[in-house]
Amino acid sequence: MLLAALPSVFLWARLAGTLGSKGAWLLAIFLLALGALLLFLPRTLLEALPVGLLIGVGFGGVLVLGDILLAKVIDRDAEVTGRRREGVYYNPSCYPSIC
């Protein structure tokens, strides 16, 4: 799965340009979920390899595009509030109403 996830990063970068980062991220989540559901079907290693490839491609997209979407949320928050609060999004113990 990881061998499929690494090269798929280039695919997701292109798809993010065409579909937009949100659309590509949703497609990646769909592929990852579909692969997880299909894991119930294979009975041999050869049958499981295409499913693992599908999971790896979806996993690569979720990892890469999640950070891109988070950067857009941080930039939008900075536009609205006039403050840069990246630590709020990366620190689970700090919430915007407290920090």
Q: What is the pLDDT of residues 18-47, one digit of tens each?
A: 999 999 999 999 999 999 999 999 999 999
Q: Which residue has the higher pLDDT, 98 or 91?
A: 91
- Provide the whole-model pTM: 0.80
- The reported pLDDT for the residue numbered 96 is 54
Q: Which residue has the higher pLDDT, 31 or 98?
A: 31
Cα of 65 vs its chain's centroid, Å: 4
- The reported pLDDT for the residue numbered 1 is 85
- The reported pLDDT for the residue numbered 60 is 94
Structure-token pair, residue 8: 């798929």
Residue 52 and residue 32 in contact, taking contact as beta carbons nearer than 8 Å: no
Q: What's the Cα-to-Cα distance from 93 to each of 9, 39, 51, 77, 99, rounded to whole Å?
A: 30, 35, 37, 18, 10
pLDDT in tens, 44-89: 999 999 999 999 999 999 999 988 888 888 889 889 988 887 766 6
Q: Per-residue confidence at 97, pLDDT binned at 50, 70, 90?
A: low
Question: Alpha helices of the chain — where are they, by DSSP H?
Answer: 2-19, 21-38, 45-81, 86-90
DSSP 97: T
